[in-house]
Amino acid sequence: MFKKIINILVLSLLLLFMSACKTDPMEDYFVQATESPDFFVINIPASAVSFDESKLDTETLKDIHSIKKMNVLIYKNDYDPNKKQAEYKKAAKIIKSKHYKTLSKINNKGYEVVFSYKGEPEKIDEVIFLGKDKDYNFLIGMLKGDDVNVNSIVKALKHINKIDESQAKTIIDIFNNNNE
């Protein structure tokens, strides 16, 4: 009887521990996608983008410097439209889940982009964007930071000085090669 109680207690603790170790669904998606031949993966360091810091206040600078990196997944499987649409819907479902809050949606000339975030508006840990065209060609980006204020991101984007051309060229080359 005592052994049975110990087993139940150990099992309960194990289940409690497992439920406490919540995973991030988008990070899981990124990990799976990096192993898939259907995706291009681009990791962009935060240093690839510079800002006119003279036009940014101290709080915005602090938030911008807390951004660690941006990862981009570009879906490249163009030979199976059904698979492409299903993969897009899988990513869209994650962004619409309870883990993320919608920041903004843009629909323009057949292109759709959804920006979502994890955290609170004053303390964002992750910004996700999912963009697609009418043919379900899509990309997903994940920007990681520590307690970034959404207003700081908006302010900083207005004062981008330069984007490392080697990073931008990589993305442009991928799209050009994919559309040939």
- CA–CA dist 76, 55 (Å, integer): 38
User: What pLDDT, in 10s, does the model give residues 126-162?
Assistant: 888 899 988 888 999 988 877 777 777 777 767 665 5
Residue 10 has pLDDT above 50, yes or no: no
175, pLDDT greater than 60: no
Entry pTM:
0.69
Q: How is 59-119 classified by DSSP, letter by letter?
A: HHHHHHHT--EEEEEEE---S-HHHHHHHHHHHHHHHTSTT-EEEEEEEETTEEEEEEEEE
> What pLDDT, on the 0 to 100 scale, is given for residue 7?
45
* Residue spans per domain, the chain: 23-178
Dihedral sign of CA atoms 179, 142, 33, 42 in order = positive
Say what the pLDDT of residue 12 is: 45
Specify the pairing of strand 123-132 against strand 39-45: unpaired
Confidence tier at 164 by pLDDT (50, 70, 90): low
Query: What band does 49 get if pLDDT is binned at 50, 70 and 90?
Result: confident
117: amino acid identity, one letter: Y
